[in-house]
Structure 1
Amino acid sequence: MNDPVRRRKPELALVTGAAGGVGSATARRLAEDGAKVAVTDLNAERLKELADELGAVALPADGTDRAAIHDVVEQAVASLGGLDTVIATQGAAVSGTARPEHVEAYQRALDVNLHGSFYLAGEALPHLVQRQGSLVLFASTAGLIAGPPGTVGYTAAKAGIIGITRWLARDYGPKGVRVNAVCPGWIRTPLGEGAMAYLAKREGITLDEAYALTTKHVPLRRAAEPEEIASVCAFLASGDASMVTGHVLVADGGGAAVDSSTLEFDAP
């Protein structure tokens, strides 16, 4: 295949939420694959450590601030010489229900998990059009099925990411830009461990036992490692996925494929 767009790996990439978890792993993977990388996150100290490790450009910013995101994108373009890949891994678990007293938590969950990615897309897409690039947004299986108790805002936000992904794919496909989303299940990250710590304390078990408990009905029987989800992001951003757009790739060890009403039946 002679088409360089189809053959290429990401060359000029921006990764958000890069100070930890999947974001750090994704930045490392793209750098290992030869990309020039810019990274952004609210945690400036961790971001600098990662940038120093990778030789990347560190652009600390509040990912919920549209003006700050505009500046990050423009600085990334200026530093790297353009953008052909943007991977938006930023996110946070914000507890809250539908009760009136939790409205601020609900809004915060939307700001971090939905609005920030929407703002990023709006700022980055004109540059991605120039290089017929790729945008990968970070959803969750919580966007497909209800998330854990107390995560109504997170669940709503991740469902919104899926809708935005499909809309952007429709509108920007004719301009040569691919837009896809990743839907992980449980991942061994600081965000995941926050939930596991609560479960471990409640049940009087270890973190590893908490992960095992939450994935006992997942076909692969385990949570993902950040590097595994980074590989999915790298694939969607690469020329190997040249005909993939508007897709929501579930990477949850098979959990979303399981019908919970059948869990009490014995295996044949």
Structure 2
Amino acid sequence: MLLKDKIVIVSGIGPGLGVKLAIEAAREGAAGVVCAARTAEKLDDAQRRIEALGVKTRVLKQVCDITDRRSCAALVEATVKTFGRIDALVNSAFFHGDMDYVSTADLDAWMSGPIATNLIGTLKLTQAVIPQMKQQRQGAIVMINTMAVRQVPPLGEAGYAVSKAALANAVKWLAKELGPDGIRVNTVHMGWMWGVPVQSYMEWQARQHNVPVETLIAQVAAQIPLGRIPPDEECARAALFMVSDYASVVTGASLDVNGGHYMP
């Protein structure tokens, strides 16, 4: 089991990758999974789905807004009080923002939206766990990033991509700063992932263009060497590998999780 006996915090629990990260962490033997989201309903759903696995993993639910330092501190405090330590942080919380372009974007909206959440909020939560991990002399952090940082997509999502690109760069600094304390920091760049968000997007696009959903799926899959859109849970496992002991000497690295859609 990748995460046997580990205590794992997952931010951004939602209907897509977030909840799958929590579920797969439990499936991979985590002793405790701390589920964090802005709304309690998403946390209740995550707990039910983990309990349905029949595993021994304990679930801690915590409402958390990562853009609020006090909320991040409360999450860390609750985790340490319940489990005594933090082995891994999976930064999955994000705000997509408008489908925009650099040349015409509302830059003020970037500051209050994707940059405030994806960059600053993620770093606030990361900073909150660092003291505990330093005390332990070990810990692993992984940032969920996007393929849009690696290549410019056909659709405009400039604000989202820019915020995530800055986060990817911050990973390298964190890895160098925290390595002497036994703390590893990595990033995974996700491509297309089949789950509720992408399914909803495909259905919307199908209505807009009056074509079957299957046609759109086939068009995307044709660009992926593996020939399919990977499901959320497969992508989640790749991210969890980066906080597992199997990646014990991996830090400051970027892993592309996209079926080969983008190859640097």
Same fold (TM over 0.5): yes
Hey, what does 1:124 align to over in structure 2?
129
Note if 1:193 corresponds to 2:199: yes
- Counting aligned pairs with the same residue, the percent is 28
Displacement of 1:89 in angstroms is 1.0
2:3 and 2:25 in contact (8 A); partners too: no
* Structure 2 counterparts to residues 63-102 of structure 1, below 5 A: 63-95=66-98, 96-98=100-102, 102=106
Displacement of 1:67 in angstroms is 2.0
1:38 and 1:80 in contact (8 A); partners too: no
1:139 and 1:162 in contact (8 A); partners too: yes
* Structure 2 counterparts to residues 102-141 of structure 1, below 5 A: 102-107=106-111, 108-131=113-136, 132-141=138-147
1:84 and 1:127 in contact (8 A); partners too: no
For the residues of structure 1 that align with 2:106 and 2:145, how far apart are their CA atoms?
Answer: 22
Q: Which stretch has the larger CA shift, 92-101 or 246-255?
A: 92-101
Instruction: Tell me the alpha carbon deviations over residues 41-82 of structure 1, each in whole angstroms, 9 at most, x when there is no partner.
Output: 112102122124434111012222222112112212212211
Corresponding pairs, count: 252
For the residues of structure 2 that align with 1:130 and 1:20, how far apart are their CA atoms?
Answer: 34
Query: Secondary structure at 1:165's aligned position in 2?
Result: helix
Counterpart code for 2:220: T
Note if 1:17 corresponds to 2:12: yes
Displacement of 1:257 in angstroms is 2.0
Counterpart code for 1:187: M
Note if 1:44 corresponds to 2:50: no
Displacement of 1:153 in angstroms is 0.6
Instruction: Tell me the alpha carbon deviations over residues 100-145 of structure 1, each in whole angstroms, 9 at most, x when there is no partner.
Output: 6623432212122222211111111121223301001111111112
2:222 to 216, 221, 224: 216
1:29 to 19, 24, 35: 24
For the residues of structure 2 that align with 1:29 and 1:249, how far apart are their CA atoms?
Answer: 18
Hey, what does 2:251 align to over in structure 1?
245
Counterpart code for 1:144: R
Query: Secondary structure at 2:242's aligned position in 1?
Result: helix
Cα–Cα, structure 1 residues 209 and 127, in superposed 2: closer, same or farther, change >3 Å? farther
Displacement of 1:165 in angstroms is 1.0
Counterpart code for 1:60: V
Cα–Cα, structure 1 residues 232 and 39, in superposed 2: closer, same or farther, change >3 Å? same
1:93 and 1:154 in contact (8 A); partners too: yes
2:23 and 2:49 in contact (8 A); partners too: no
How well do the aligned residues superpose, as a CA RMSD in angstroms? 2.1
Hey, what does 1:157 align to over in structure 2?
163
Structure 1: give runs of 5+ residues left out of the alignment.
1-6, 259-268
TM-score (norm 2): 0.87
For the residues of structure 2 that align with 1:58 and 1:117, how far apart are their CA atoms?
Answer: 18
Counterpart code for 2:43: L
Counterpart code for 2:221: T
* Structure 2 counterparts to residues 53-64 of structure 1, below 5 A: 53-54=49-50, 55-64=58-67
* Higher share in helix: 1
2:11 and 2:37 in contact (8 A); partners too: yes
1:186 and 1:223 in contact (8 A); partners too: yes
For the residues of structure 1 that align with 2:103 and 2:79, how far apart are their CA atoms?
Answer: 41
Structure 2: give runs of 5+ residues left out of the alignment.
51-57
TM-score (norm 1): 0.86
Cα–Cα, structure 1 residues 212 and 101, in superposed 2: closer, same or farther, change >3 Å? same
For the residues of structure 2 that align with 1:150 and 1:194, how far apart are their CA atoms?
Answer: 18
